[in-house]
């Protein structure tokens, strides 16, 4: 068939040039559209075309606005407008007429109107609202074609807000006798589901009915919806697995009418859709997978015909088999299929084969090994797309042995590639590899990738460089190497380097050039100054350079260079540059200040971020004492603003019986509320307010004291633990040091020009794979390889470096082959050793922590005891002061804390609605009582305050600084979590440190949080995890964690304002303690 | 989901443009130009899939195209569509056009752009594959044609 098409299409140019032909006679040659088109084809320049179209548009405009134009003529005009628009000329004046045509015309005119509307407008266009009524009318029409048109336009674009208006009508159409209408209605509903899922929630069972429709076409349409819904929630549709399998069985078995065959394959698109659904359902589910095996086998067997569409089915089949719970004989068949794909001479199939390989290679690296020859060939394929796909595949099988060759291949591709998008993608990948397997490739990446790469790549590279790896020695070498190579680069021809790279260079030189003893700072400074003078250096880069210079100048000979530079730039137009220049000037003159500001620190110095900003406490309390208003977070300010605007309907005399939550508001909120709740005369309310504010102030001050008081203790304990842990961890890396001292750097520039490049590539590409699979490391789940990778670096590096240091290539090749087995065994031994070593180290560490733990528990014990201690007579009279809403609850003995100007403060622990025990501090003048702290808000502060107050009254001193955070796990499902997440307004984000490294870090960290803080782990998906907890019945807090760049990015949400902040603090503490 | 269907000739002149996702007018033209640029420089003996045109939405998107003599048929799809499946859908679409126009040629597409749109509407609806069975598509188109004819004769009778 395509041959016929091709023939006619080849004949086209001749048709175009000649006038009325028998073929084109049927094309309304006399119509105005015909004239327009003919006019355009005759033109030669873009400019002429523009002129003609503008003229045309002007005449269309005249005619559409004329009242004499009939609907029939309008139809013709509309087609011309569509034509102009498709050429890229705007005809917005016709939009309203298109809608009018759809509203008023006959069926045929409507058709043009609808078409024009759907081509011209988008979902959010305001004119679309005018169409809603028309659509409503047409949906109810008895003319099938009109109904079809309405459904089509609805699924093409419909304003989201107007969906409810037509939803019932569309739903009704699911029962329409005509299957074409039912099918279109299903698709329209699917579209609604995509743009507004919550609006079609109630008709899920109607989807099921559509799935069971007697017409296979309607059923096929409903699969769109199911594919989407199962993708979002596979658990919810497990019960349908058997039905889908049955459907597929029937289709494969040829039970459908012959009509559905395409090239004698029964309903191939339907099969593809079903296979995708099955893959989703069978993923990680053995029982569901078991149901599918038979039909998958059948599909594989049936799809043996040599036609494109059967390959499409095969491809889906293979993907499905590798996604669901594995079954060995199916896997074997699938592997064979992939082999056929990869080996196929048809390029499309090769492409898909590579894609399939990329998909399965993580599970079964041997498959790549089988096809290594083909893969190597594909690397040199003339089609860039195939090449890229191959690189993608290689990226997945990269390991420490083959990384050099693979990166080299990628860089090679980068040099010839012209497509920006691919470059960005690939540079990212190379950077990722360089990060995993550190080497000097980053220089090449920066110079090739240029300014196009994403900004986080240089950042993460610098982070890597500064945070270093396991051993100090290795870091030093890498940094030295970086300094060396960058100096050489700058000495050559810095003018060609991209800006980003220059920035990286200047940072590295500023930070690390002192590592190289023989290098005079003046030399570096001069090089940097030369960069500054270059014309095309951007001002951003210049400020990087100036910063580097600031770090470098130590007084002495270099001062003259620095002075010159700083003088030039201190009058720069760019404020940032001027700022930097001034900094440079001052710091270069004042060496004392300089030493203070720029600490030169060789060791690993992680920056501690004090998220609670406790160092500002002193300042804050001073400000408060001086009468400043306390800080309110923005949401609270808004709330108050809203409250202030609204009329207060509550009576002034509202007295004591109030809810806990209103108490919590009282202590932080506006004075009016406070006085209201105290329920006393204006005078005493004033006092109580004062009391509140004094206690607030105390809070701030005392907290600092509290911290100071307890910090030494805790620090001492931590130190002790640290002494233990690093020791055990260091041993493997020390070993690595000893080994890696063979060579200067693990990987220097590879030499791809070998006598037998292909063989060499082969060896080095799959080298690691084969050796690793012999130790069965790839086959296992992630944790081992990762740990293995990190720890074994010292062991693997020397092999590659010894490869490079061997003098001749032949020897190198030999070496490769020989080493293959050697290394395998060596690796096996060493990794085993290290793995056994590691747990021991961990064990000692954890036992240390256990030793810490009891002491914490003991601390808690003391608290409990302390609460019972105080003398009873006082307690009795204190009970009368207990706030009303607390007095009915169970509580422990009340401990008076102090009395300040007739204001009594006391602390006790209180059981609240059977939900848990909280310490509560409250106080007030005798006769009244105001809670000064609600339990959760500033729990630790309360204890600090109370502890301090106690000290001052000489009653008892608290021997602990920490109270376990009083939350409980909140068991929710992932969906519930999702809806809750969206509904909560207060949130906090922060990065926390991860415990452990590699794939397991997330799980490990979350487990610690689970143990320490009783959080409920809802689900862990890849690198993300969600947790939940609650404080009280209706005070939940949700936590979302993601592993990002070696830290745990945490996002907390809760309906309770301070809860996220409080929880994050406790998480931080918990992880620190661990 | 199908994000866009573009048909243009060997010189990059658009013959049928259908977007299923909203893009501003100038963006549309840019996409057409870039797609043409990407597709036209590829030989006929390379694969029919192209990845990651940066304009239409990054790594999840693919261009799947077929080249017939003077015309390129390009479908821009996301990862939820099967590559080979779409490739055959293009074939189905072209064969349908051929049936409806009796030996379709570029001129048919130019002069009857509206009709081509109507046919396409029976194959792909709002970005979703509606029908892959050629006979069914042709039948639907014919129903509309009959209506057209009856209306024309009505008008004539009215005169």
B54 near A CB under 8 A:
yes
Does residue A506 lie within any of the structural domains? yes
- In angstroms, the separation between the Cα of residue B44 and the nearest Cα of chain A is 11
Number of domains observed in the structure of chain B: 1
Give the nearest partner residue to A309 out of B20, B88, B148, using CB atoms. B88
On whether residue A491 sits in a domain, the answer given is yes
Q: B103 and A4: CB-CB below 8 Å?
A: yes
Eight-state DSSP code of residue B46: S
- The pLDDT, as a whole number, for residue A683 is 41
CB contact under 8 A, A27 and B112: yes
Which residues in chain B touch residue A37, judged by CB atoms under 8 angstroms apart? 110-111
Yes or no, beta carbons of A269 and B129 under 8 Å apart: yes
Phi, psi at A106, each rounded to 5°: -75, 175
**Beta carbons of A908 and A867 less than 8 angstroms apart:** yes
Distance, CA of A775 to CA of A784 (rounded, Å):
11
DSSP labels, A227-257: HHHHHH-GGGGGGGHHHHHHHHHHHHTT-S-
Of A107, A111, A157, the CB nearest to B118: A111
Rounded to two decimals, the ipTM of the complex is 0.92
Domain CATH for B143: 3.30.450.60
pTM value? 0.56
Residue of A102 and A849 predicted with greater confidence: A102
Mean pLDDT over A809-828 rounds to 38
Tell me how many domains chain A contains.
2
**Quick one: pLDDT band at residue B28, thresholds 50, 70, 90?**
confident
φ/ψ (deg, to 5) at A745: -130, 155
Please tell me the least confidently modeled range out of A605-619, A776-790, A878-892: A776-790
> B111 to chain A nearest CA, in Å?
6
Which H/E stretch holds residue A1037? strand A1036-1044
> Helix (H, G, I), strand (E, B), or coil: what is residue A142?
coil
Cβ–Cβ gap B105/A87 under 8 Å:
no
Range of the domain at B86: 2-158
Q: Distance between CA A926 and CA A887 in Å, rounded? A: 16
Helix (H) or strand (E) holding A261: strand A261-262
Tell me which chain A residues have a C-beta less than 8 angstroms from the C-beta of B26.
Answer: 88
pLDDT at B97: 92
Q: Which residues of B touch A259 (CB under 8 A)?
A: 133, 135-136
Handedness of CA A392, A393, A398, A402 (dihedral sign): negative
* Summary mean pLDDT of chain A: 67
Do A309 and B18 lie within an 8 Å CB cutoff? no
Closest Cβ–Cβ partner in B98, B140, B144 for A5: B98
Q: Are residues A89 and A83 in contact, defined by beta-carbon separation less than 8 angstroms?
A: no
State the pLDDT at residue A354. 87
Q: Is the Cβ pair A112, B16 closer than 8 Å? A: no
The shortest C-alpha distance from A643 to chain B (Å) reads 42
**Residues listed for chain B:** 159
Of residues A224, A312, A350, nearest to B84 (C-beta): A312
pLDDT at residue A836 is higher than 80: no
> pLDDT-based confidence at A398, cuts 50/70/90?
confident
Q: Chain A contact for B138, CB < 8 A?
A: no
- Residue A11 pLDDT > 70: no
- Distance between CA atoms of residues A189 and A163, nearest Å: 10
CB contact under 8 A, B125 and A123: no
pLDDT (0 to 100) of residue A888: 57
Q: Answer with the one of A573, A597, A621 that is the final residue of a domain.
A: A597
How distant is the Cα of B123 from the closest Cα of chain A, in angstroms? 11
Backbone φ and ψ for A579, nearest 5 degrees, come out as -55, -50
More confident residue, A800 or A465: A465
Number of helices (H) and strands (E) in chain A: give both, helices first.
49, 12
Burial of residue A582 (CB within 10 Å: 0-12, 13-18, 19+) is middle
More confident residue, B78 or A592: B78
B148 inside 8 A of chain A by CB: yes
A12–B106: do the CB atoms touch at under 8 Å? yes
Q: Chain A residues with CB inside 8 Å of B131's CB?
A: 183, 217
Measure CB to CB from residue B14 to each of A87, A262, A348 and give the nearest one. Answer: A87
More confident residue, B60 or A718: B60
**Tell me, what DSSP letter sits at residue A907?**
E
> CB distance A315–B82 less than 8 Å?
yes
Evaluate if residue A242 carries a pLDDT over 50: yes
Of A90, A184, A217, the CB nearest to B125: A184
Angle between helices B134-158 and B113-123 (to 10 degrees): 140
From A577, A597, A617, the end of a domain falls on A597
Q: How far apart are CA A837 and CA A839, in angstroms?
A: 6
User: What tokens were used for A866?
Assistant: 């302390």
CB A94 within 8 A of CB A60: yes
Q: How many CA atoms lie within 13 A of A979 on its CB side?
A: 6
Asked whether the beta carbons of residue B89 and residue A119 sit closer than 8 angstroms, the reply is: no
In CATH, what number is assigned to the domain containing residue A1043? 3.30.310.10
How far does chain B reach from its first CA to its final CA, in angstroms?
47
pLDDT recorded at residue A544: 82
Enumerate the residues of chain B whose CB falls inside 8 A of the CB of residue A188: 126
Place of tokens 């014309």: A535
pLDDT in tens, A1035-1055: 788 888 888 777 888 888 888
**In the A/B pair of chains, how many CB contacts fall below 8 A?**
202
* Residue ranges of B 92-131 with Cβ closer than 8 A to chain A: 92, 94-95, 98, 103-108, 110-114, 117-118, 121, 125-126, 128-131
Residue in A8, A124, A184 closest to B103 by CB: A8
Within an 8 Å CB–CB cutoff, is residue B25 touching chain A? yes
Nearest to B95 among A1, A224, A420 (CB): A1
| Residue contact B46–A385, C-beta within 8 A | yes
Q: How far is CA A813 from CA A763, A808, A809, A822, A825, in A?
A: 8, 9, 6, 14, 19
The residue of A53, A265, A385 whose CB has the most chain B CBs within 10 angstroms, and thus the best one to mutate to test that interface, is A385
In this predicted structure, what is the pLDDT of residue A927? Answer: 38
B12/chain A closest Cα distance in angstroms: 11
Query: Are B51 and A122 within 8 A, CB to CB?
Result: no
- Alpha carbon of B73: minimum distance to chain A alpha carbons (Å): 13
Mutation target among A192, A307, A348 for the B interface, most CBs of B within 10 A: A348
Element at B4 (helix H, strand E): strand B2-9
Q: What residues of B are in contact with residue A311 (Cβ under 8 Å)?
A: 84
Neighbouring CB atoms inside 10 A of A920's CB total 25
**Enclosing domain of residue A435:** 421-597
Which residue of chain A is at minimal alpha-carbon distance from B34?
A419
Q: Residue A696: its pLDDT value, please?
A: 40
**β-strand A1016-1021 against A986-993: which pairing, if any?**
unpaired
Radius of gyration of chain B (CA): 17
Q: How far is A155 from chain B (nearest CA, A)?
A: 5
Cβ contact (<8 Å) for B85 and A312? yes
Q: Which residues of A touch B17 (CB under 8 A)?
A: 86
Contacts of A157 in chain B (CB under 8 A): 22, 126
Does the pLDDT value for residue A932 go beyond 50?
A: no
Give pLDDT tens digits for A403-449.
777 777 777 777 776 666 677 677 777 767 766 665 555 666 665 55
How far away is chain B from the Cα of A385, in angstroms, using its nearest Cα?
7
Query: Which tens digits make up the pLDDT trace of A532-572?
Result: 777 777 777 888 888 887 777 765 666 777 777 777 777 77
Q: Which of A9, A24, A152 is opposite residue B121, by nearest beta carbon?
A: A152
pLDDT digits (tens, 9 = 90+) for A161-191: 888 888 888 888 888 888 889 999 999 999 8
Residue A286, C-beta contacts closer than 8 angstroms, at least 6 positions apart: A325
**Residue of B35, B38, B47 to mutate, testing the A interface (most A Cβ within 10 Å of its Cβ):** B47
For A85, which residue in chain B has the nearest alpha carbon?
Answer: B25
Domain end marker among A597, A613, A636: A597
Q: Residues 6 or more apart from A792 whose CB is under 8 A from it?
A: A400, A827, A830, A831, A834
For residue range A485-496, what is the model confidence (pLDDT) as tens digits?
777 777 776 666
pLDDT digits (tens, 9 = 90+) for B61-117: 888 999 998 899 999 998 888 888 999 999 999 999 999 988 888 888 888 888 999
Please report, rounded to a whole number, the percentage of residues in chain B having pLDDT higher than 70.
90
Nearest residue of B to residue A79 by CA position?
Answer: B114
Separation in Å, CA of A998 to nearest CA in chain B: 26
- Residue to mutate among A1, A3, A4, A5, with most B CBs inside 10 A, is A5
């Amino acid at each position: 068939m395509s041959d016929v098409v091709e023939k006619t299409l080849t004949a086209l140019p001749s048709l175009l040039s000649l006038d009325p032909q028998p073929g084109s006679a049927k094309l309304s040659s006399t119509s105005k559209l015909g004239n327009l088109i003919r006019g355009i084809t005759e033109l030669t320049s873009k400019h002429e075309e523009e002129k003609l179209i503008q003229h045309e548009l002007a005449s269309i405009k005249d005619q559409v606005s004329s009242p004499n134009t009939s609907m029939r003529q309008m139809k013709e005009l509309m087609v011309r407008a569509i034509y102009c628009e498709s050429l890229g000329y705007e005809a917005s004046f016709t939009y309203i007429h298109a809608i009018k045509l759809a509203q008023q015309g006959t069926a045929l005119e409507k058709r043009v109107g609808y078409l024009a509307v759907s081509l011209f407008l988008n979902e959010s266009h305001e004119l679309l609202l005018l169409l809603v009524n028309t659509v409503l009318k047409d949906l109810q029409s008895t003319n099938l074609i009109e109904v079809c048109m309405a459904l089509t336009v609805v699924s093409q674009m419909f304003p989201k807000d107007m969906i409810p208006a037509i939803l019932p009508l569309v739903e009704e159409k699911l029962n329409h006798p005509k299957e074409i209408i039912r099918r279109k209605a299903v698709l329209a509903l699917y579209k609604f589901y995509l743009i507004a899922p919550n609006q079609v929630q109630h008709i899920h069972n109607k989807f099921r009915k559509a799935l069971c429709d007697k017409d296979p076409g309607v059923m096929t349409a409903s699969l769109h919806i199911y594919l989407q819904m199962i993708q979002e929630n596979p658990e919810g549709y497990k019960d349908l697995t058997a039905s889908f399998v049955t459907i597929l069985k029937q289709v494969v078995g040829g039970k459908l009418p012959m009509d559905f065959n395409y090239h004698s394959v029964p309903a191939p698109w339907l099969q593809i859709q079903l296979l995708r659904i099955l893959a989703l359902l069978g993923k990680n589910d053995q029982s569901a997978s078991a149901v599918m095996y038979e039909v998958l086998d059948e599909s594989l067997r049936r799809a043996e015909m040599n036609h494109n569409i059967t390959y499409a089915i095969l491809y889906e089949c293979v993907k499905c088999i590798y996604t669901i719970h594995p079954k060995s004989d199916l896997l074997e068949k699938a592997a064979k299929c992939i082999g056929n794909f990869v080996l196929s001479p048809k390029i499309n199939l090769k492409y898909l084969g590579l894609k399939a390989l990329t998909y399965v290679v993580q599970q079964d690296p041997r498959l790549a090994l089988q096809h290594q020859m083909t893969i190597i060939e594909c690397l040199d394929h003339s089609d860039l797309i195939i090449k890229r796909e191959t690189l993608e595949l290689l990226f997945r099988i990269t390991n420490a042995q083959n990384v050099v060759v693979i990166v080299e291949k990628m860089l090679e591709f980068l040099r010839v590639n012209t497509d920006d998008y691919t470059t960005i993608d690939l540079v990212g990948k190379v950077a990722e590899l360089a990060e995993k397997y550190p080497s000097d490739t980053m220089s090449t990446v920066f110079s090739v990738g240029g300014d196009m790469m994403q900004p986080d790549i240089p950042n993460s590279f610098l982070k890597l460089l500064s945070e270093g790896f396991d051993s100090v020695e290795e870091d030093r070498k890498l940094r030295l190497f970086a300094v060396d190579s960058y100096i050489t680069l700058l000495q050559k021809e810095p003018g060609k380097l991209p800006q980003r790279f220059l920035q990286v260079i200047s940072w590295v030189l500023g930070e690390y050039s002192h590592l190289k003893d023989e290098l005079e700072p003046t030399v570096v400074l001069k090089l940097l100054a030369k960069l500054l003078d270059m014309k095309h250096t951007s001002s951003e880069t210049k400020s990087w350079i100036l910063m580097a210079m600031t770090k470098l100048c130590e007084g002495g000979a270099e001062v003259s260079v620095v002075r010159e530079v700083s003088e030039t730039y201190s009058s720069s137009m760019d404020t940032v540059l001027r700022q930097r220049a001034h900094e440079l000037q001052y710091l270069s003159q004042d060496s004392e200040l300089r030493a203070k500001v720029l600490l030169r620190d060789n060791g690993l110095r992680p920056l501690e971020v004090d998220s609670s900003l406790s160092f500002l406490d002193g300042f804050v309390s001073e400000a408060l004492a001086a009468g400043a208003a306390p800080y309110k977070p923005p949401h609270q300010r808004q709330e108050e603003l809203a409250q202030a605007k609204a009329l207060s309907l509550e009576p002034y005399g509202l007295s004591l019986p109030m809810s806990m939550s209103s108490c919590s508001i009282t202590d932080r909120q506006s004075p009016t509320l406070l006085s209201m709740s105290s329920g006393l005369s204006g005078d005493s309310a004033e006092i109580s307010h004062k009391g509140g504010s004094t206690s607030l102030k105390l809070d701030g001050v005392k907290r600092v004291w509290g911290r100071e008081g307890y910090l030494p203790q805790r620090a001492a304990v931590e130190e002790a633990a640290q002494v233990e842990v690093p020791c055990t961890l260091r041993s493997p890396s020390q070993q690595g040091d000893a080994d890696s001292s063979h060579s200067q750097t693990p990987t220097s520039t590879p030499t791809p020009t070998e006598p037998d490049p292909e063989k060499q590539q082969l060896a080095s590409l799959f080298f690691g794979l084969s050796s690793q699979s012999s130790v069965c490391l790839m086959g296992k789940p992630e944790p081992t390889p990762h740990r293995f990778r990190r720890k074994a670096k010292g062991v693997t590096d020397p092999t590659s470096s010894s490869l490079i240091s061997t003098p001749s290539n032949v020897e190198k090749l030999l070496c490769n082959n020989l080493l293959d087995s050697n290394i395998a065994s060596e690796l096996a031994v060493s990794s085993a050793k290290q793995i056994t070593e590691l747990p021991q180290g961990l064990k000692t560490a954890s036992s240390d922590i256990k030793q810490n733990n009891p002491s914490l528990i003991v601390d808690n014990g003391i608290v409990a005891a302390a609460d019972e201690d105080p003398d009873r007579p006082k307690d009795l009279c204190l009970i009368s002061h207990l706030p009303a809403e607390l007095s009915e609850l169970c509580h422990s003995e009340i401990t008076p804390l102090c009395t300040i100007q007739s204001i009594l403060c006391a602390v006790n622990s209180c059981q609240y609605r059977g939900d848990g025990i909280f310490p509560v501090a409250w106080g007030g003048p005798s006769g009244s009582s105001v809670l000064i702290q609600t339990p959760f808000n500033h729990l630790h502060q309360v204890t600090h305050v109370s502890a301090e107050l106690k000290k001052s009254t000489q009653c008892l001193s608290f021997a602990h600084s920490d109270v376990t955070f009083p939350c409980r796990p909140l068991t929710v499902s992932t969906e519930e979590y999702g809806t809750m997440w969206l509904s909560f307004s207060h949130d906090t984000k922060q990065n926390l440190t991860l415990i452990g490294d590699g794939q397991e870090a997330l799980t490990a960290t979350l487990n610690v949080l689970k143990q320490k803080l009783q959080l409920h782990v809802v689900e862990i998906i890849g690198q993300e995890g969600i947790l939940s907890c609650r404080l009280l019945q209706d005070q939940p807090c949700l936590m979302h964690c993601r592993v990002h760049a070696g830290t745990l990015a945490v996002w907390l949400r809760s309906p309770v304002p301070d809860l996220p902040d409080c929880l994050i603090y406790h998480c931080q503490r918990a992880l620190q303690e661990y | 989901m199908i994000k866009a269907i573009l048909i243009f000739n060997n010189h990059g002149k658009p013959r049928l443009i259908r977007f299923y996702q909203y893009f501003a007018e100038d963006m549309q033209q840019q996409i057409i130009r870039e797609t043409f640029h990407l597709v036209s420089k590829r030989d006929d003996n390379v694969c029919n899939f192209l990845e990651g045109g940066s304009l239409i939405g990054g790594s999840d998107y693919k261009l799947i195209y077929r080249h017939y003599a003077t015309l390129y048929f390009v479908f821009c799809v996301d990862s939820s569509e099967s590559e080979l499946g779409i490739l055959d859908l293009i074939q189905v679409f072209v064969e349908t056009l051929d049936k409806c126009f009796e030996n379709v040629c570029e001129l048919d597409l130019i002069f009857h752009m509206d009709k081509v749109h109507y046919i396409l509407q029976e194959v792909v609806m709002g970005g979703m594959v509606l029908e892959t069975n050629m006979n069914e598509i042709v039948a639907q188109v014919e129903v509309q044609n009959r209506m057209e004819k009856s209306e024309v004769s009505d008008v004539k009778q009215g005169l």
